Structure formats: C-alpha cells, structure tokens
Amino acid sequence: MQNNKNDSKVIIALDYADAASALKLAHQLDPALCKLKVGKELFTAAGPQLVEKLIAKNFKVFLDLKFHDIPNTVKNACEAASNLGVWMLNVHASGGSAMMQAALEGVSKTNNQPYLIAVTVLTSMNQASLSEIGIENSVENQVLKLAKLTQVVGLHGVVCSALETQMLRNQLGNDFCLVTPGIRPANVNQDDQSRVVTPSQALRSGASYLVIGRPITQSANPLNALEEIHAECVNI
C-alpha cells in the first residue's frame, strides 16, 4: 500500500464512555486534519449509529474491534463493519490464516474498500504472558511471525508498537501499513504509556499512521494540540 501524502497520518483514539463525549470532541476537530478511532468501549456503549454520525461528518473511522473468532463469524462481522462505511478495521492475526482470509472475503463482499489490518501481539503482553498461553517465541519473533503471516494472507498491515516499527518496515517493505500507538509529543504527559516515541520519530521510523489519544482528547484545545503535531511532522 502506498501512503497518500495528502492524507492526515493522525488517528485520534476516541476513548470515551458515551456518544455525547465523542461527538463533543468531533465538533471541535477538522476531518481534513485527522481520522477517528472507535474502540470496544465506545462502540459497545454507542453502537453503529455513532460510527454513522462520525462518517456523516466526513471523518474517516478506524473501527478497532479486533475481531477474533471462527472464520465464518469473522467474515460476517467484517462484512457488517465494512458496510458501515468505515475506513479501517482490524482482526487478531493470532486467529490464523483461515480467519484472516475469511475477513478479507467478508470485506470484499461490500462496495466499501476499507483497510483491513491485524493486531500481532498486544503490547500489554510480555514473555511471561506469551509463555503462559503456550507460546515460547520471544515477543519480537512472535510479532514478526504474525506480521509476516498477515502480509502473506494479503491484509493491508498491522498495528504495532512504535518500537517495533523500524524492524517491521525493514522486514516487510514499504507497501505494508504500520499503524502505531504509544505516541507522545515531546513535553506532554506520558499517562500510562511506558515506552513512547514522538510523532516525528514514529513517522521517521516508518509508521504509516499514528494513533494518538489523550495528548489530544485531554487537551484544553484539541484542535491546537492536533495542529502542533502536524507542525512537528510537516517535513517528514
């Protein structure tokens, strides 16, 4: 996949408990300057109607529901998500190649052509938690193994830690989409993210898109915070 240089690389994580809070932020933003991520909490509370409202306001929406189930169920879930008109959706790569293939089939039954990406290893997991579920690979090798499987099946990319971006970019080439959370502009609170990089560092190391939540959503002026991030990245 070739990045479209006219497209904003910033995906704002709408980590809110209800539609009203999410819409309040969306009113303060410009769809030309960002995309929006709707995750499990907000989607469970506010449903597809919220996604449709955001799309009606011209925002591109990443539906971050990380599907992981039997292939037929994932195929139908991906078809339903794609029919909502989302710009990006995701599954767990650990569901295997048959499940990811089914996800692609579900999406291809629709007129929409969203990015379909996969989660490799959740960044909340470490060597001990992988071993606990029977995976003896190192975290890095497991990330790489699942990212390669994702690419072979034909999905567009993966979600990855900013610290894995460079390794994956080198291994998987320039056409693979790398969506990277754990981003903090210099001089802002790290919150509960322990291993962070700045927006410009992440783009330089090969990230295609940056997922950024609290540095924008908790800012007194979210549009300013977003514009400062763009200013930092303007020549990359």
66 is catalytic: yes
From 8, 9, 10, 13, residue interacting with ligand C5P (rule: CB under 6 A)? 13
- The binding track of 155-184 with respect to ligand C5P, each residue x by CB under 6 A or -, is ----x-x-------------------xx--
Q: Does the protein bind ligand C5P through residue 213 (CB under 6 A)?
A: yes
Decide whether 79 or 155 has the Cβ nearer to ligand C5P.
155
Query: 73: alpha, beta or left, given left = phi > 0 and alpha = psi -120 to 50?
Result: alpha
How near is the Cβ of 72 to ligand C5P at its closest, in Å? 26
Shortest Cβ 186–ligand C5P spacing (Å)? 14
Q: Which stretch binds ligand C5P (CB under 6 A): 75-83, 145-153, 167-175, 206-214?
A: 206-214
Q: Strands, E, within the chain: which ranges?
A: 10-13, 35-39, 61-67, 88-92, 115-119, 157-159, 177-180, 209-212
C-beta neighbour count of 16 within 10 angstroms: 21
- Closest approach of Cβ 207 to ligand C5P, in Å? 13
Q: How far is CA 189 from CA 89, 169, 206, in A?
A: 28, 28, 24
Chain position carrying tokens 């339903």: 80
String marking each residue 75-114 x if it binds ligand C5P according to CB under 6 A: ----------------------------------------
118/157 Cα distance (integer angstroms): 6
| Beta-bridge partners for 190 | none
- C-alpha–C-alpha distance, residues 140 and 130, integer Å: 11
Where in the sequence numbering do the catalytic residues fall? Answer: 66
> Which residues here bind ligand C5P, judged by CB under 6 A?
13, 15, 39, 123, 159, 161, 181-182, 191, 193, 211-214
